[in-house]
Amino acid sequence: MPTCSRCNQLVDSQAVSCPHCGNELKAFGHPGIPLYQAKDTTYLCDRCIYHEDDSCNYPQRPYAKTCTLFHDKSLPLVDEWQFSPPKYKGIKGIQFWFSANRGLAIIILIVIVSVLIAVI
């Protein structure tokens, strides 16, 4: 469960504002748009990957205290598992394969059923 950047109390991950201090936690009042906030006297841009690669053109750069686009430069931009999916074994591995290859599984199932109908 995340904490409020102002009062450090635990808050619901879907909360639009902090129920303890009223701090705005999501942008535009929408629970799906995170609003990143700097703590105390720091600025988000100092830790942002878009400041480091000079690709940000937001007017609040480099002194952003809040930002919807912030991405911590110490974290990868893309989830690593997309390139190396987790290794599951047994039933979990089969379930993962089916969820990742649903279209292929349906085609294989249709071929098997067609063959069974032709044989019977």
Which residues, in sequence order, are CB contacts of 4 under 8 Å at separation 6+? 11, 18, 20, 21, 23, 25
Residue 44 binds: one of Zn ion, ligand SF4, none (C-beta under 5 to 8 A by kind):
ligand SF4
Q: Which of ligand SF4, Zn ion, none does 56 bind, CB closer than 5 to 8 A by kind? A: ligand SF4
The entry of ligand SF4, Zn ion, none near residue 7 (CB within 5 to 8 angstroms by kind) is Zn ion
Evaluated on CA atoms 77, 60, 37, 46, the torsion sign reads positive
Rounded Cα distance, 68 and 37, in Å? 9
- Shortest gap between Cβ of 21 and ligand SF4 (angstroms)? 22
With CB under 6 A as the contact rule, the residue among 4, 11, 25, 45 that binds ligand SF4 is 45
DSSP category for residue 120: -
Choosing from 4, 22, 69, 102, the residue that interacts with ligand SF4 (CB under 6 A) is 69
Compare residues 25 and 48 and give the one whose CB is closer to ligand SF4. 48
Q: How far apart are CA 37 and CA 5, in angstroms?
A: 7
Q: Which of 17, 24, 58, 96 binds ligand SF4 (CB under 6 A)?
A: 58
- For residues 68 and 58, give the distance between their C-alpha atoms in angstroms, rounded to a whole number: 11
Binding site for ligand SF4 (CB under 6 A): 44-45, 48, 50-51, 56, 58, 60-61, 64, 67, 69-70
